[in-house]
Structure 1
Amino acid sequence: MLFKWLIKLRQLVWRPGTFVYVAIGDSTVEGVGASDPSRSCPALVFEKIKNERKRAYFYNLGKSGARIKDVVELQLAKAVELKPDLITISVGANDLRHRTKLRHFEKDFLELIKTLSGKTKAKIIISNIPDVSVVPSIPILVKHLLRFATGRFNRIIKEHAEQFRCILVDLYTGSKIYGRKSTGLISEDGLHPSDRGYALWANAIIGHL
């Protein structure tokens, strides 16, 4: 109900030159791990957009725990309805965690990208799954298994991002580089990015705006 009200409000205030940014995905989109929602990656990206555009609107549809199937079923239609100019996507970590079958992940991911590409005129920026094996508390054997599994999911993300000419932000490579050389990138929960981690991520996206 609230979402439909927001759509109607946007239609009333929309004028030529209005810019709409929609973020979809999981807990990293929602900003879990940040000290404040304003320090999440999408919020920082929007801060940059708002500094350059007077009439900019931001809708964060991210939900903690969301897998690719949840994004398709609960976020995709809303994103299309908002008629965005920019869409950022971060999804896959929960599918990795819950061992979603690769063929199911690929089917839903393809539906997501194909629909967004076909039904919107938005620039689409997709972040792949970071290398969570850099977290110190993870046992050595598990690290190797995680890297292998993450690589398989990320190959699917890369293939279809290229197929539909989306922009790919390579968090996996970035996390391998920064995760070993820098501290303070992971929040106190030991899983999600910290304010500093989100800032680095946002800068990577901003570079493609």
Structure 2
Amino acid sequence: MWKHFVAIGDSFTEGIGDEVEETPLKSWVHHFAELHEPTLKYTNLAKRGLITKEIRLKQLEEALALEPDLVSLIAGANDILKGRWNFNEYKSEMELMIDALSKSGAAVIIGNLPDFTARLPLPDEKKRVIKEQLLQANEVVRSLSSEYKLMPIDFWNHPIAEDDTFWSKDLIHPNSIGYRKIGEIIFNRCSI
């Protein structure tokens, strides 16, 4: 169905985390591509540590130049977890990327953010602030998904978000089994 899949984003899409149960550490992008028959050609441009604006500045133009027919965008965790949250900037950056990707003719997978506060050992007030910001980011994702008719992945409400067996010791990144599971979740969502 698709010929070339391009993934943009941060460490969640790059695929950093712990290797567990002798399962090689590979990004969810790799697992997602392997589930296709034949294996889907892909380019993973995601890099750890980037906030949403940096993803746009460093990855969007390159992604568009590759002329993909399928693109994924999952962003915003670093904006929040690094204490650099700015709702208006996040909304603007996401809109700019989604608009450009949609106008290119590519189908777009977009993911919301899981509830990191369910796992992170933080003071209650800090958890409350982070949760509020995550909900704001996820509302932007929901709104854009509806407006642009994207393929949304709901990590907030998926059971994987609260199952510690899928997460690395840092409690932020999936582990090798988690990335495999996420690849399956996204594949199943895109096969609907």
- Give me the TM-score of the superposition, normalised by structure 2: 0.88
Match in the other structure for 1:172: 156
- What is the root-mean-square deviation of aligned Cα atoms in Å? 2.0
5+ unaligned residues in a row in structure 1: which ranges? Answer: 1-16
| Correspondences of 1:4-23 after superposition (within 5 Å) | 19-23=3-7
* Distance (Å, rounded) in 2 between the aligned partners of 1:27 and 1:136: 17
Match in the other structure for 1:194: 175
> Is 1:48–2:32 an aligned residue pair?
no
* Distance (Å, rounded) in 2 between the aligned partners of 1:83 and 1:183: 37
How big is each residue's C-alpha offset from its partner over 1:32-63, in whole Å with a ceiling of 9 and x where there is no partner?
A: 114387522111101112xx026x42100001
How big is each residue's C-alpha offset from its partner over 1:139-195, in whole Å with a ceiling of 9 and x where there is no partner?
A: 333222221111011101110121111111011111xx3444x33221122321112
* Distance (Å, rounded) in 2 between the aligned partners of 1:113 and 1:34: 31
Equivalent residue for 1:108, pick from 82, 93, 108: 93
Preserved CA contact (<8 Å) 1:24 1:71: yes
* Distance (Å, rounded) in 2 between the aligned partners of 1:34 and 1:93: 18
Q: Which amino acid aligns with 1:61?
A: L
5+ unaligned residues in a row in structure 2: which ranges? Answer: none
* Distance (Å, rounded) in 1 between the aligned partners of 2:149 and 2:165: 33
Aligned length in residues: 186
Q: Which amino acid aligns with 2:33?
A: F
Q: Which has the larger radius of gyration?
A: 1
Report the structure, 1 or 2, having the larger helix content.
1
Greater RCO (Cα-Cα under 8 Å, separation 6 or more): 2
Equivalent residue for 1:204, pick from 181, 185, 190: 185
Preserved CA contact (<8 Å) 2:7 2:29: yes
Question: Could you say what secondary structure the match of 2:174 adopts?
Answer: coil
